[in-house]
Amino acid sequence: MTGRRRFIGAVLAAAAAVPLASAGQTSVKTYRIGLLEAGDAAANQHFVDAFERGLRERGYVRDKNVIIDVRWGEGKAERFPDLLRELLQLHPDVIVVASTLGAVAAKQLIRSTPVVMVGVSDPVAVNLVTSLARPGGNMTGISREFGAGLVGKALQMLKQIVPEVERVAILWNAAGEVQRRAREADAAVRSLHMTPISIEIRTARELSDVPSRMQRMHADSLMVVTDPLTLRNREAIVRIANDSRIPAVYEFGEFARSGGLMSYSASIPDIFARAAIYVDKILRGAKAGDLPIEQPTKFELVINQKTAKQLGIMVPQSLLLQADEILE
């Protein structure tokens, strides 16, 4: 019996000496995601937060089983290639790219790492993929448009609020990737029997000239085509419209929440949250090129009643009833 007790004691002592990590536990794989956001953290952190929320809903918790490396483009497209190279050096499992120019840079630089595009304007038209149904290659994601009709609907709502508007200034970044959308806005204005006035900018410094340019061209309303430059400078743009006492319609809810009169668009935070679905599928083994590119499914009308009152505008009750968000 004494020998048996010694044997059992030796076995128990040996077992106690084995580290817990090796005692039948399986290690949890940690994935790495690179994210290139076209704007800056001050303006667009809530987009990244929405993406992380989407990941958490699928079981990915930052710094536990997933590492997220974020790079901010700060509205400067010329920085995108270098920022993507930084992310590639970290050997990510997936790279998420927001904005069309960011996706174009990714197309040129990234050959094998899966890329999930977020908020890209017509990825087929800009030769990012061969088709929406079967993108091919290593890229997939979510576009941020639902056809040119979205612009027309936004302008119709502006006309509902201020029926007398006739001359619409279209503010857009001529150095960006929004030429086609600027043309769509021009056509939409004309279809409503109004006159489009193109206000082109290329840098934030040129915004200071916008009020005088609109005044010289007798603009009585404003529509802003959104890209990283205009989104980053949304507070300045909203201030220009409100100080000029010109009713304005915007593409992103973020403009209305910054004091703009009204916005109608796809929900950008929702698009970022849905990007997490693509990332999850890729991490589980799906090929990016086999995943169809989706178009937005959630749209939001945001009306800033406080701004409307300051401008002396009475928003029709019928439009208020359609609003997803009313800011008092």
Quote the pLDDT of residue 75: 81
Buried b (16+ CB within 10 A) or exposed e, 222-252: bbbbbbbbbbbbbeebbbbbbebebbbbbbb
CB 221 within 8 A of CB 169: yes
Within 10 Å of residue 285's Cβ, how many Cβ atoms? Answer: 6
- Look-up of token digits 């589980």: 284
What whole-number distance in Å separates Cα of residue 29 and Cα of residue 65? 6
What are the 10-residue block averages of pLDDT along the chain, 328 residues in total? 45 39 56 94 92 97 96 90 97 95 94 94 87 94 74 92 96 87 91 96 96 97 92 94 96 93 91 97 97 91 96 95 94
Domain 31-145+267-297 shares a fold with domain 149-266+300-327: yes
Residue 87 Cα distances to 67, 81, 91, angstroms: 12, 10, 7
Quote the pLDDT of residue 148: 57
What whole-number distance in Å separates Cα of residue 169 and Cα of residue 219? 6
Specify the CATH architecture of the domain 31-145+267-297.
Answer: 3-Layer(aba) Sandwich (3.40)
What whole-number distance in Å separates Cα of residue 302 and Cα of residue 327? 8
Given CA atoms 273, 328, 155, 44 in this order, what sign does their dihedral have?
negative
Q: Are strands 299-304 and 262-266 parallel, antiparallel or unpaired?
A: antiparallel
Which of 73, 66, 68 has its CA nearest to residue 106? 73
Quote the pLDDT of residue 27: 59
What whole-number distance in Å separates Cα of residue 157 and Cα of residue 159? 5
Q: What tokens does 293 get?
A: 């590119």
Which of 250, 243, 282, 278 has its CA nearest to residue 264? 250
How far, in whole angstroms, is CA 242 from its chain's centroid? 25
Q: What tokens does 199 get?
A: 């206000």
Quote the pLDDT of residue 298: 87
CATH of 149-266+300-327, one of 3.40.50.10800, 3.90.1260.10, 3.40.50.2300, 3.30.70.2190: 3.40.50.2300
- Look-up of token digits 């939001």: 300
CB 70 within 8 A of CB 76: no
Domain boundaries, the chain: 31-145+267-297, 149-266+300-327
Quote the pLDDT of residue 266: 86
What pTM value is reported for the model?
0.81
Task: Give Cβ neighbours of residue 316 (< 8 Å, ≥ 6 apart).
Answer: 160, 161
CB 293 within 8 A of CB 224: no
Phi and psi angles of residue 215, each rounded to the nearest 5 degrees, phi first: -65, -45
